[in-house]
Amino acid sequence: MRVIIEKDYLAMSIRAAEFIADLVHKKPHCVLGLATGSTPVGLYERLIHLHQNEGLDLSKVTTFNLDEYYGLAPNHDQSYHYFMHDKLFDHVNIPAHQINVPSGLAKDVDSWCSNYEQHIIDAGGIDVQVLGIGGDGHIAFNEPGSSLGSRTRIK
| 67 tagged catalytic | yes
Q: How many CB atoms lie within 10 A of CB 146?
A: 14
| 25 tagged catalytic | no
Query: Exactly one of 54, 77, 90, 136 is catalytic; which is it?
Result: 136
Helix residue ranges, H only, the chain: 9-26, 41-54, 80-87, 109-122
Nearest to 58 by CA among 96, 14, 9: 96
| 90 tagged catalytic | no
Contacts of 110 (CB under 8 A, 6+ apart): none
Query: Exactly one of 67, 68, 81, 127 is catalytic; which is it?
Result: 67
Region of 124 please: left (phi>0), alpha (psi -120 to 50) or beta.
left
| 54 tagged catalytic | no
Query: Exactly one of 6, 22, 110, 143 is catalytic; which is it?
Result: 143
Provide the annotated active-site residues.
67, 136, 138, 143
